[in-house]
Amino acid sequence: MNRKVSLIKNLDWMTIMLYAILVFLGWINIYAAVYNEDHQSIFDATQRYGKQLMWIGAAIFIAIIILTIESKFYSAFAYPTLILMILLLLAVLTFGVKVNGARSWFELGAIRFQPAEFAKFATNLAIARYLSQHNFKIHRLKSLAVTGLILFTPAVLILMQNDTGSALVYSVFILVLYREGLSGFVLFLALLAAIFFVFTLIYSSFTVSILILIIAAISLKTIGIQTKQIAIATAMLAGSFGTLWLINKGTNFQLGNFSLVVISILLNTIPFLIYTYRQKIKKAALVLLLVIGSLFYTFSVSYIFDTVLESHQQQRINELLGIKSDPYGTGYNVNQSKIAIGSGGFNGKGFLNGTQTKFNFVPEQSTDFIFCTVGEEWGFLGSALVLLLHLSLILRLIYLSERQRSSFSRIYGYGVAAILFFHVAVNVGMTIGLAPVIGIPLPFFSYGGSSLWSFTILLFIFLRLDANRLELLR
Amino acid sequence: MNNYSNRKFIVGGIFAFVILIFIIRLFNLQIIDDQYKLSAESNSQRRVTQYAARGLIYDRNGELLVYNQAAYDLMIIPRQVKTFDTLDFCYLLGIDKEDLIHRIQKAKKHSWYRSSIFIKQLSSERYAVLQEKLYKFPGFFVQTRTLRKYPHHNAAHTLGYLGEVNDRNIKKDDYYTQGDYIGKNGIENTYEEILRGVKGLKVYWVDVYNRIKGSFHDGKLDRDAIEGQDIKTTLDINLQEYGEKLMQNKKGGIVAIEPKTGEILVKLSSPGYDPEMFVGRAMSKNYRELANNDTLKPLFDRSMMATYPPGSIFKLVNALIALQEGIITPYTRIKCQNGYHAGSFTMGCHPHKSPVDLKESVQISCNAYYAQTFRDILDAPRFNSINESYTNWRRHVTSFGFGEKLGTDLPNELTGFIPTANYYNKVIRTRNWKSLNVVSLAIGQGELSITPLQMANMVACVANRGYYYTPHIVKSIGSNNSIDPKFLKKNKTTIDPSYFEPVIEGMDLVVHGGEGSTGRSSAIKDIRVCGKTGTVQNPHGDDHSVYVAFAPKDDPKIAIVVYVENGVWGARYAAPISGLMIEKYLKGEISENKKYLEKKMLEADLIKEQEIKKVQLKKESSHE
Ligand SMILES: [Zn+2]
């Protein structure tokens, strides 16, 4: 009896309130998205909103079960849970049902469920368990390898189901690792990689190589090389490049500009190293390594993009980056989605008054593109509110994580926040044309039991851990 | 606590930063940027499907068989409907108020927001009047589409018809949406994707008065329809029409093929129906009537879907197999004592001279000749078992295209049935059955069943002396002359070309052998016709009459089968009809001396005759 009272007292009711508001808003939005006059009752179980209500009921039931389980259980069973999920992911590859080209569903009678959704909390538990071990040292090779194994196993299995969106979710754990001590340099590199990736595709490898050299020049300046020396180096590079360009023109090698830059740099590597070694500027070698690494990366990006990616994936990225626009084809969804959201104006057309989202202009309007209904019917006010509510929940989770005594709970909490963030960022980003079209659900808003239950489980396990924050869990 | 606690600000900062970017973007999209703005109060979009003109269908001589005419569907979007003058509206459309309410309810049930058909296919007069006043009725608009029209009222089974898509079609191919038309049978079905083209889309702005204000989004969302491609068929519509006339008031089918190419010249099933019956508003009523109330089954395509025992015409195949297997030579003579006798078994034959050689056996269709020969094929000493020898025989038979689909470009082709050795193992309950058990196969009776199309193909094999091209109905598509390469592939039978000549000599005698030749009535002046009659026992009424023929003998241009149910013998109806068809095709008209025969065929009413006979039979039995 006492325990129950203390559990209720120790629960973070603010998080629960944010959760409840989001779930409720999500439900009435699904109602608006699939509204038709013949099934006006929001409880009509033949319609998606009626079904969503059933999923919500089930989610509450799941939440209560999670809260009644001892918090020690979650860390103790972290690994077995992950193994079970991996087995389910393997099973779905062979026995699963194909929906929209992704073999990621189990079908049990009328109920369909998607193991990929549940792999998230299992992975998060396992990561929290592993990172909180005493002998975990983030920069040790073995620790990194195990961490990578925990993250990549489910991600690769999900990728094999053709569900790119759900697989990419695991990349967000880099933020959790960063919080646990991963060098900021790695985060910086990841960011740089993303920027180079986009630039390589929008402009050309050659442009990016120039960009890399400019960054290198600035870095050289900051580590104490004089402007004059940098100018000499630039002149030497330019000279080699010019000579090579002329030779190339006159002969039959037919090399591209990018290749010429790479050769020029390689030609000047030795004099550069000799000079900097004499001047005892050791960091210069690091800069050179970075330059060569970046060039190699740039080359790989254009190679992978042209030869490895499938054409529909190329199209989606092209569309997003504005390289090629095709408003009827790949761009159709995003274009329609932007029209729907844009037509909402400042305060929207009002509940159930949306027209764009109801004419079937917007595809997947109750699942991946549910944010369109928010934007159209509730306008800027409503959509900003929904984003802020999500942000509040995520920041609240960070706050709660930081107050944990046990690192297991803290890491798990960060994981929940990061996963929620990734979903919001990619899903909303997609509908407003800032992220590629990758089908992942908007937490608590997109129609579907599996995703709602998955986020509920993620969140309430953390709330259960948080309620016990005063005990030190390992 | 650990050392990295301050990183919470960086992580939190990243989260907040991204959300901030999103909010700025939303601000831009929803408030600053007019490009995405609609004034939702006064405007709405209307998406009008641009139906592609369906491809036309021609006959082999460029005669138009199927074209399009405009039709106007009145569409409704329930959500945009405002109060309107219902009396005026009903008057304009010629419907009553109850009907109006019913139709609106139906549209609402379909979708509140999406358009659905309110009234199908308005007449152009009604459309003209309505067009003027349409602005008074928000939520209604007219969508133009095309209907099929048939200048010749023939070849309905082959051409097929259009019908609305059903849920299964939509599920299978997401090109289709509710209310679209799809080819349901015949050429319209097999060549659907070529004929239909690609439908387009126009998105308009419409104001509250239902008036089009302009193109939505500068026409960025519009797509032009791509017209369907025309198809030239292999049919000869004049011959088809003539065949349908000759077959009027008779049940049966005719298939004629050009042996050199496998092109189907005529393919008809009688009784048929007028293809115009399946166009427009009357379609579903007519369909129900033809499908349910008509005992003669006019929808049933007898030329491909009826399987009959082939009867005596199958003797041609058995003769060829016997030659190939070395069981007989063209000079082998076999005695016939009013039939074939083996122990207590007897298979009757009509009186004729005896013995006969191969040619004569074809000419007079001697049962004994074939019973003996067939048993010799199966009992040949080089085989170890009846299973082995029978399977070998069956291999020859199927090389003529029997027992499986020929693979034409028309839907609903049946396989027919050539029993396997295993079939008999089961039925006779031993693997060691005797050739006598299956001797009725010798004369084309027993378990055999074959479609008229397959019979025609068999004749084409004989005319070609040993091969056939898969029969097909399309000669060319659009402007290019290419057809499916499978129709250009020569299919060889297992019979050596040299064995065909003696059999063809026999078929020549069937027509030109003088007194007693069963196919005399198919003879044509100046053209050497080769034929073979058949009579198929029918336990339900008069026997069926069948005749196969090809002509000219040395340079075959047409191979034909005529099957007349209850036609009694091949000689009575099937042979003269074949002769008339061949003459019409090769000469263009019927010569004077055969006009009486033509008249007789046109006037024969076997359907009524059968009815009368049935009634008489009933009377007789009730008197007893
Ligand atoms: Zn005889």
Give a yes or no: residue A320 inside a domain.
yes
Nearest to A405 by CA among B2, B3, B10, B12: B2
> B113 or A325: whose pLDDT is higher?
B113
Q: Domain ends where: A270, A286, A309?
A: A309
| Residues ≥6 apart with Cβ < 8 Å to B388 | none
Q: Determine contact: B10 vs chain A, CB below 8 A.
A: yes
Q: Is the pLDDT of residue B343 over 50?
A: yes
How much is the average pLDDT of A281-310? Answer: 78
- What ipTM did this prediction achieve? 0.83
Q: Which residues of B touch A434 (CB under 8 A)?
A: 21-22, 25
d(CA B273, CA B154): 8
Q: What is the pLDDT of residues A120-141, one digit of tens each?
A: 999 999 999 999 987 788 878 8
Residues A46, A175 share a domain: yes
SS3 state at B544? strand
Q: Domain ends where: A252, A279, A309?
A: A309
Q: Determine contact: B12 vs chain A, CB below 8 A.
A: yes
Residues A373, A300 share a domain: no
In the chain, the amino acid numbered B614 is: K
Provide the total of helices (H) and of strands (E) in chain B, helices listed first.
21, 20
Give a yes or no: residue A196 inside a domain.
no
Residues A363, A455 share a domain: yes
Nearest to A260 by CA among A234, A241, A238: A241
Residues A208, A182 share a domain: no
Q: Is the pLDDT of residue B366 over 70?
A: yes
Give a yes or no: residue A55 inside a domain.
yes
How much is the average pLDDT of B285-297? Answer: 84
> B179 or B191: whose pLDDT is higher?
B191
Give the pLDDT score at A128.
Answer: 94
Give the pLDDT score at B468.
Answer: 97
Residues A395, A430 share a domain: yes
Residues A209, A249 share a domain: yes
Mean pLDDT of chain A: 82
Q: Which of A344, A361, A434 shows the shortest C-beta gap to B25? A: A434
Cβ–Cβ gap A343/B37 under 8 Å: yes
CA of B555 to the centre of ligand 1 (A): 31
Give the pLDDT score at B380.
Answer: 93
Give a yes or no: residue A333 inside a domain.
yes
Q: How many CB pairs under 8 A join A and B?
A: 123
Residues A207, A84 share a domain: no
Instruction: Determine which helix (DSSP H) or strand (DSSP E) holds A161, and give its type and residue range.
Output: none
Nearest to A263 by CA among A237, A294, A286: A237
Residues A330, A458 share a domain: yes
In the chain, the amino acid numbered A11 is: L
Give a yes or no: residue A474 inside a domain.
no
Give the pLDDT score at B39.
Answer: 41
Q: Pick the residue from chain A with its C-alpha nearest to B113.
A: A359
What does residue A228 show for φ and ψ, rounded to 5 degrees?
A: -60, -45
Interface of B with A in 333-372 (CB under 8 A): none
DSSP state at residue B594? G
Q: Which of A178, A360, A388 shows the shortest C-beta gap to B11? A: A178
Nearest to B113 by CA among B73, B82, B74, B78: B78
d(CA A299, CA A462): 43
Q: Domain ends where: A289, A309, A329?
A: A309
Q: Pick the residue from chain B with its C-alpha nearest to A329.
A: B221
Give the pLDDT score at B508.
Answer: 95
Look up the domain containing A225 and give its range: 203-309
How much is the average pLDDT of B88-113? Answer: 84
Residues A318, A180 share a domain: yes
Q: Which of B12, B14, B22 shows the shortest C-beta gap to A429? A: B22
Q: Is the pLDDT of residue B172 over 60?
A: yes
Cβ–Cβ gap A390/B44 under 8 Å: no
Cβ–Cβ gap A328/B223 under 8 Å: yes
Give the pLDDT score at B281.
Answer: 76
Cβ–Cβ gap A181/B114 under 8 Å: no
How much is the average pLDDT of B572-579? Answer: 93
DSSP state at residue B334? B
Give the pLDDT score at B41.
Answer: 40
Residues A303, A338 share a domain: no
Interface of B with A in 63-82 (CB under 8 A): 78
Q: Which residues of B touch A414 (CB under 8 A)?
A: 11
How much is the average pLDDT of B136-140? Answer: 84
Give the pLDDT score at B45.
Answer: 65
The pLDDT confidence band at residue B43, using thresholds 50, 70 and 90, is very low
Q: Which residues of A touch B78 (CB under 8 A)?
A: 37
CA of B536 to the centre of ligand 1 (A): 17
**Minimal Cα–Cα distance from A338 to chain B, Å?**
7
Give a yes or no: residue A157 inside a domain.
yes
**Minimal Cα–Cα distance from A349 to chain B, Å?**
7
Identify residues whose C-beta is under 5 A from ligand 1, the ion.
B 336, 349, 366, 368
Strands (E), A93-222: 97-99, 102-108, 111-113
d(CA B86, CA B68): 33
Give the pLDDT score at B137.
Answer: 86
Q: What is the pLDDT of residues A410-456, one digit of tens each?
A: 999 999 999 999 999 999 998 888 877 777 899 999 888 888 999 99
Cβ–Cβ gap B7/A349 under 8 Å: no
Q: Determine contact: B21 vs chain A, CB below 8 A.
A: yes
Give a yes or no: residue A472 inside a domain.
no
CA of B367 to the centre of ligand 1 (A): 5
Cβ–Cβ gap B44/A38 under 8 Å: no
Give a yes or no: residue A149 inside a domain.
yes
The pLDDT confidence band at residue A344, using thresholds 50, 70 and 90, is confident
**Domains detected in chain B:** 45-198+218-233 (3.90.1310.10), 237-614 (3.40.710.10)
Q: Which of A375, A398, A402 shows the shortest C-beta gap to B30? A: A375
**Minimal Cα–Cα distance from B447 to chain A, Å?**
45
Residue to mutate among B1, B22, B33, B106, with most A CBs inside 10 A, is B22
Residues A370, A411 share a domain: yes
Residues A85, A133 share a domain: yes
Q: Is the pLDDT of residue B210 over 80?
A: no
CA of A336 to the centre of ligand 1 (A): 81
Interface of B with A in 220-279 (CB under 8 A): 220-221, 223
Q: Is the pLDDT of residue A361 over 60?
A: no
| Token pair 């100018």: residue | A231
**Minimal Cα–Cα distance from B11 to chain A, Å?**
7
Give the pLDDT score at A473.
Answer: 46
The pLDDT confidence band at residue A299, using thresholds 50, 70 and 90, is confident
Q: Determine contact: B112 vs chain A, CB below 8 A.
A: yes
Q: Determine contact: B5 vs chain A, CB below 8 A.
A: yes
Q: Is the pLDDT of residue B216 over 80?
A: no
d(CA A302, CA A324): 16
Give the pLDDT score at B624.
Answer: 46
Give the count of domains, chain A: 2
Q: Which of A346, A417, A432 shows the shortest C-beta gap to B25? A: A432
Mean pLDDT of chain B: 88
Q: Is the pLDDT of residue B226 over 50?
A: yes
